[in-house]
Structure 1
Amino acid sequence: MLLFGLAAFGLYSLRGPERISGVVVHFRALLLATALFGLLLSAAAMLCMAWAMSGVTDWNELLPHIEMMVFETDVGLSWSVRIAALLLATIAVALNRPAPTASLWLVTLSGAVALATLAWAGHGAMDEGQRRNWHFITDFMHLWAAGGWVGALAAFALLLRQAERRLSVLARTLTGFETVGAVIVVVISVTGVVNYLFIVGPRVDGLLDSTYGQLLALKVALFAAMLVFAALNRFHLTPLLEQARQTGEHRAAVNALRRSMVLELSVAVTILALVAWLGTLSPEMDY
């Protein structure tokens, strides 16, 4: 999500030379780190999945199971595509200084592909036929919108660390994010409802009796909290920053934005942890 979201932020929020690593955001270090970390996590995930499905612990016994999963299953195919996309992203990062816009486009596209492959580890993989295809498309859009939001939050947090030197860029990008942010919220909300209908169906009775339902309710409540923070940033803190920038007294406005961003990022991380947990559960599970 960070790989995709940070690179996309550089395209829709920054202009020309601002997209060069180090001018506003250190794209090379950040994107390279996220791509490499994604490769590491993907390798660990495949090992854990093969170990869980086979039940063996000896490496010599586990290796054939890994090969079978990688070459003979849909999950293995999606994993291979993810690895290829992340490797492409690491190569594209190196092009940032000579061709910053092209580099960010390549990273964004490869990040989008890598992020979409996570859908094969979700509930959509259990469906069949056209239902499976539509569920995957919904998952893709949900993941991309969430990645865009997480990446933007991370970018704003980075800008706020050096707000005094980047005040004009910070004010402009916060204002410019209004349209993108609105689209993200709409996509997340609509695809979230559609995913619920795919997974649970048009009912809510008894859902809170399961661990899945309780975690889902908590996730929705936290998402509502993020909307409150977003509204606070949009209608109060961003205008306050713009006013403060004109008067030169911007410290209080920047500190308020920093506090808001820390809270919003904390909520976002908690939601991602809940999503990881929800992906392992069935709505019918009852503990």
Structure 2
Amino acid sequence: MSDWVSIALRFGVYLDLMLLFGVALFGLYSFKGPERVSDAVLPFRSIVAGTAVLGVLVSGASMVMMASAMSGELNLAQLRPHIEMMLVEMDVGRAWVVRIVVLVFAGLAMMLNQRAPGFSLLVAAIAGGIALGSLAWNGHGAMDEGSRRFWHFTTDILHLLAAGAWLGALVAFAWMARRDMLQAEESIKLLARTVTRFESVGALIVVAITVTGVVNYLFIVGPKFDVLLPSTYGKLLIIKVMLFAGMLMLAARNRFHLGPLLERSFREGKYRVAASALRRSVLVELSTAFFIVGLVAWLGTLSPEMGIASS
């Protein structure tokens, strides 16, 4: 049971911080001026402040769970010295402290959204990126040493940031493509513009995820496949790669078919069908992304060697 609670907490932390960073970043590169004010297009204040608060709560629960697993203690009072030791003496604890601090900054930044929307989103995106990057200290890279540790952490952080940027964009598109939003011509025009603007950003994200994913695999497993395949870790990794390939196909369909179709349909005045098709595609892609984040949370609790040994 404790393993599944740990996986659920990891899933919650990953999903929460990816949304915080990705949505704030999306507001910076997709919108301009008054569009960045909360509720003008997206509810930035609810999403960013909400994920910041939730991130603190889930991170706190995750720290308690981690301390309990390491010490074997279940009583919260008895766990306190173990938690204090982790926060002061261990890298994962210090990364946790940094995460909590920047999450507070991200939440407070939304208080400035009405007066300085661009600045508030910039602070939230930077804080969210730092918080998301701190999760690398909970991953396999923490077991490395020296220069290998540095490069493993670097690729881990880049992988997390790219994944967060993609997930945040999908959530933003899903919100903008809601049925009630598709009734207004200006909303569909804005959706078409942001889809077009996302083309270059999306291509960069895909390259970053692919390259860092391959490098991370080599860091964790090495250039071998035959001994990995029978393990639980290997099976989950294969499912993750297949789902990612499916997301790439959906993204390509959005980029080369549905996006241009929406632009053409808008010029012809018959845009609701194309917008609905784009909405359905984005929702499928978003659902797949959620499932991948769940697999990432599960994979983070497994060791390839242990999985092989137990298979």
| TM-score w.r.t. length of structure 1 | 0.98
| Equivalent in 75, 90, 114 of residue 97 of structure 1 | 114
Within a 5 Å distance, the mapping from 1:123-134 to structure 2 comes to 123-134=140-151
> 1:149: which partner in 2?
166
**For the Cα contact (< 8 Å) 1:163–1:170, is it kept in 2?**
no
CA distance in 2, matches of 1:143, 1:72: 25
* Separation in 1, partners of 2:245, 2:148: 28
Q: Does the aligned pair in 1 maintain the 2:182–2:272 contact within 8 Å?
A: no
Matched, 1:234 2:255: yes
Distance in 2 of aligned mates of 1:207 and 1:163 = 47
1:58 equivalent in structure 2: 75
C-alpha separation in 1, matches of 2:271 and 2:278: 11
3-state SS of paired residue (2:270)? coil
- Does 105-114 or 243-252 show the bigger shift? 243-252
TM-score, structure 2 as length reference: 0.91
Per-residue deviation at 1:226?
Answer: 0.2
- Match of 1:94, SS? helix
The answer to whether structure 1 residue 30 and structure 2 residue 47 are counterparts is yes
- Tell me the equivalent position of 2:30: 13
Structure 1, 108-117 or 276-285: larger mean CA deviation: 276-285
- Cα deviations by residue, 1:145-196 (Å, 9 ceiling, x for unpaired): 0000000000000100113331111000000100000000000000000001
- 2:89 counterpart residue number: 72
Which position in structure 2 is the counterpart of 1:45? 62
Compute the displacement of 1:51 (Å). 1.2
Matched, 1:192 2:207: no
Is 1:256–2:277 an aligned residue pair?
yes
Deviation (angstroms), 1:240: 1.1
Question: 1:247 maps to what in 2?
Answer: 268
Cα deviation for residue 17 of structure 1 reads 1.1
Check if 1:108 corresponds to 2:129: no
Q: Cα deviations across residues 12-46 of structure 1 (Å, max 9, x unaligned)?
A: 00011111111111111111111111111101100
Contact 1:174 1:238 in 2 (8 A): yes
**What RMSD, in angstroms, separates the aligned Cα atoms of the two structures?**
0.9
Equivalents in 2 of 1:115, 1:34: separation in Å? 12
Q: Secondary structure at the match of 1:221?
A: helix
Q: Which residue number corresponds to residue 137 of structure 2?
A: 120
Q: Distance in 2 between matches of 1:263 and 1:82?
A: 31
Q: Distance in 2 between matches of 1:164 and 1:179?
A: 28
Of 260, 263, 269, 2:290 maps to 269
Could you tell me which amino acid in structure 1 is paired with residue 159 of structure 2? H
Range that drifts further, 35-44 or 250-259: 250-259
2-structure distance, mates of 1:209, 1:250? 49
